[in-house]
Structure 1
Amino acid sequence: MEQTLDGKPMTDNIAVEDLVNFVDFNNLFYSPAFAASCFDLTTRRLADIESENGLDIRRIPRGASSARTYTAADIFDISALRRTLGQAKGLARQIVVSTFVQKGGTAKTTTAVGLGICAQMAGLRTLIIDNDPQGDTSSMLGYDPDLGPEDLDEMGIPADRLVDGHLGNLISPLLRMRPFDNKSLAQVIKKPFGENGIHLIPADSYLEDLGVALDASNNPDMWYAKWIEDATNGKNPDCDLSGYDLIIFDNAPSGSRLTKNSVASSELLLCPVRMDKFSFRALIRLHEWCARFAKEYSYSPAIAAIPTMFKRNRTRLLNNLVRLNELFPGGVTEEKIYFSEDYEKALDVGVPLMLWKGANKETLNAARSVYSEILDRIRNLAKAG
């Protein structure tokens, strides 16, 4: 094996530490117990659904017999079937939500992806839009925005993992200043877990140019809202969003023009926050930012503040939680995301936590409880009209 100038091992002239952690989601296999837990079903009931509807789930040898094994696509196919059978329901109307906290490291991307996966499993057709030029959401779902066609070929990564379009390509036709080539939704959309899984509009660093174009436009904070309205009501034949129940924007930790646009188009802000003093200060800034936004636009989305990295029986954290509820009365989730090394390990493995079979059962159940609570809020918003 060759060595770099600083002594690091190389593989085919690529430093080992620089290799992308490519995960082929089609080659991740789950047990019946894991698949059933995604729907809060027993394995027996899951098997009955498959038998009653002629689902062909692969089997692997196990001793003298065999056992069912599932891919993520299989799990999402079952979710779509349950919706067709009336065992899971969509929303009364489409809801748009955004992540936003003016501080990094609070689990915004983990929240956006985790909620999207749980929403899709619950029967909601979900679109995640990576609204951060850094592209962390895209990377978490298997689309590294820093890799070009040659990189993918050299690393043996399938060509369909290329990020070759983003939100700017879809919104550009609305703007006088058009920084990107026009593309249809079909040219930009990614489906990491198949047609029945969550869908993704990825991002890369060029998305920053959309912010420049928005700055030069009239009503610069309202273009996302117009784009969604047109794309949902049949006014944009190249971009049909009418089939989605839930649209989730994941934002950078800043109040940029891109973020303001997503907030202006949203009915709910997802605000994951650690209870340490530094993150809590970010929540206070968020409260002030929302107040300014509401004053300027006579509109303010609902807040879902989510305590993250929480540790039990810590007096300081409990005191901060009390203050958080005072800042956002009725907006703080009852459930919490508790501290767990599983989150970091899932990132290292390259699999979203909600689909990582190596996660501790308690970690998964706590996260599912939080996302279930948020989904209840989303359903209530949809019913309220």
Structure 2
Amino acid sequence: MQPHYKVQAVAKMLGTTVDSVRRYVDESGVNVSRQASGPKVRQFTIENVFDLAAWRRANRPKISIRRKTIATVYAPKGGVGKTTLTANLGSIFALMGLRTLVIDLDFQANLTLAFGYDSELTLEEARESGVPEERVVQYHLGHLVPGWPGGRGALSDVIKKPFGENGPHLIPSDLTLDRLDTILTYDAIEGKKSDLKIAALVAEGLEGTNPSFDLSTYDVILFDAAPAKNRMTRGALLASDFVIAPVSLERYSTKAVSYLSAVLQDMHSDVGRSPQLVMIGNFHVPNRLRVYGQVGKLSAEYPGALLNVMVHRSEEFPKTLSEDEEQPPLVLARPTGGAAEQLHDVARELLRKMGVV
């Protein structure tokens, strides 16, 4: 069940004041219900909040969009907070009024689950248990790629909108997405440029010339790539302007970062381009000497790549992201907490780093 918010929490999510939120409601016409008993205070739904964010973007723009950006969130090893970061960044970008699309490229579908969709649920099971059919994952990115068995589908059939039209949009995943990697492998064996297939797909969508596959309205597109170096991950990297790499400062892996750097160098040698590396320090523990040493080493070996703002270790993360799969991303589940505030800081700094704002 999705939560309801008081005006103070909404102000936190939108980065504004309580009085401003009340004005937004009055001027926008967004229908916000009031508490049924007791004080008649407003109770905002998640959709209400994203609707207000979109209205503010259109009517009182606080940010100027300099460029549309495609990024892949990728780490060569698991356990660094990649999917958690993707879900929260996608939510924050939408709270800022950015039209945001997140694409789950991991057939284990953890990002899909983070947005409330159980990829293993079938239509029959949903009907038997009274779950709305919209919550069932039937399509993924593979269904949008030319050459998919059974024919290419339309974006409108694939897109999920977990928090309404103005929240982050999702292209979900399930186990059958693994077939896309097989298709790309066969294409490569036949001498086709399979690595560029996803990049070509995204480029076509951004042009907006195909009504059934129009990505031109999005400001930010985020791929959540699997830790493995498969052809889907390589394709997403080639489609991207940036690769966002979470780095665990608690269990820093020199090999993982070196491996990613080598992957990008090889990619540039092969095709003449690669995304720009941006690293985000995760699980940061202030005042720990070892962590300072790791930050210094990263800054020295990869000048300018490490984001100045980091995500601290917090007990808030497991409480909202692993114990209850029905909870939305942390910035929506606990919007007034310290961890949510840090994630907002990271998102703003990341957008500046990528030149989006």
- Normalization by structure 1: what TM-score? 0.87
Question: Deviation of residue 338 (structure 1)?
Answer: 0.6
Question: Deviation of residue 259 (structure 1)?
Answer: 0.2
Could you tell me which residue of structure 2 aligns to residue 157 of structure 1?
Answer: 131
Deviation readout 1:180-214 (Å, 9 max, x if unpaired)? 54211111110000111111110111111111111
SS of aligned partner of 1:38: helix
Question: Deviation of residue 280 (structure 1)?
Answer: 3.9
Deviation readout 1:269-313 (Å, 9 max, x if unpaired)? 110110244534311221222222222222121121011011112
Deviation readout 1:139-195 (Å, 9 max, x if unpaired)? 110111111112223443221100000000001x2x3xx335421111111000011
C-alpha separation between the residues in 2 aligned to 1:180 and 1:330? 46
C-alpha separation between the residues in 2 aligned to 1:337 and 1:159? 36
Contact 1:342/1:360, CA 8 A, preserved across alignment: no
Contact 1:94/1:245, CA 8 A, preserved across alignment: yes
169, 175, 181: which one aligns with 1:205: 175
Distance 1:330 1:76, change over 3 A: same
Deviation readout 1:65-108 (Å, 9 max, x if unpaired)? 31111111000000110011032446333210001110001111
C-alpha separation between the residues in 2 aligned to 1:72 and 1:180? 36
C-alpha separation between the residues in 2 aligned to 1:284 and 1:146? 35
Whether 2:264 is the aligned partner of 1:290: answer yes
Q: What pairs up with 1:343-358 in 2 under 5 angstroms?
A: 343-347=317-321, 348-350=323-325, 351=327, 352-357=329-334
SS of aligned partner of 2:41: strand
Deviation readout 1:112-152 (Å, 9 max, x if unpaired)? 11111111111110001111111111111011111111222
Amino acid at match of 1:344: P
SS of aligned partner of 1:249: strand
SS of aligned partner of 2:309: coil
29, 32, 47: which one aligns with 1:54: 29
The unaligned stretches of length 5 or more in structure 2 are: none
Amino acid at match of 1:302: Q
Whether 2:186 is the aligned partner of 1:216: answer yes
The unaligned stretches of length 5 or more in structure 1 are: 1-23
Could you tell me which residue of structure 1 aligns to residue 152 of structure 2?
Answer: 182
SS of aligned partner of 1:66: coil
Runs of 4+ aligned residues of structure 1 deviating over 4 Å after TM superposition are none
C-alpha separation between the residues in 2 aligned to 1:360 and 1:235? 42
Could you tell me which residue of structure 2 aligns to residue 93 of structure 1?
Answer: 67
Contact 1:231/1:242, CA 8 A, preserved across alignment: yes
Distance 1:234 1:52, change over 3 A: closer
C-alpha separation between the residues in 2 aligned to 1:271 and 1:338? 16
Q: What pairs up with 1:131-150 in 2 under 5 angstroms?
A: 131-150=105-124
Contact 1:309/1:339, CA 8 A, preserved across alignment: yes
Contact 1:127/1:200, CA 8 A, preserved across alignment: yes
Could you tell me which residue of structure 2 aligns to residue 337 of structure 1?
Answer: 311
Could you tell me which residue of structure 2 aligns to residue 77 of structure 1?
Answer: 51
- Normalization by structure 2: what TM-score? 0.93
Equivalent pairs counted in the alignment come to: 350
Whether 2:88 is the aligned partner of 1:114: answer yes
Amino acid at match of 1:216: Y
Whether 2:11 is the aligned partner of 1:36: answer yes
Contact 1:274/1:280, CA 8 A, preserved across alignment: no
Distance 1:131 1:375, change over 3 A: same
Q: Which moved more, 1:82-91 or 1:119-128?
A: 82-91
Whether 2:347 is the aligned partner of 1:377: answer no
326, 337, 343: which one aligns with 1:367: 343
Contact 1:106/1:273, CA 8 A, preserved across alignment: yes
Distance 1:339 1:108, change over 3 A: same
CA RMSD of aligned residues (A): 1.7
Distance 1:239 1:250, change over 3 A: same
Could you tell me which residue of structure 2 aligns to residue 9 of structure 1?
Answer: none
C-alpha separation between the residues in 2 aligned to 1:315 and 1:112? 28
Identity %: 31
C-alpha separation between the residues in 1 aligned to 2:172 and 2:81? 18
Q: What pairs up with 1:60-71 in 2 under 5 angstroms?
A: 60-61=35-36, 63=38, 65-71=39-45
Contact 1:168/1:180, CA 8 A, preserved across alignment: no
Whether 2:79 is the aligned partner of 1:105: answer yes
Contact 1:275/1:320, CA 8 A, preserved across alignment: yes
Contact 1:274/1:309, CA 8 A, preserved across alignment: yes
Question: Deviation of residue 62 (structure 1)?
Answer: 6.3
248, 264, 267: which one aligns with 2:238: 264
Deviation readout 1:340-374 (Å, 9 max, x if unpaired)? 121111112232111113x6621111111111111
Distance 1:179 1:54, change over 3 A: closer
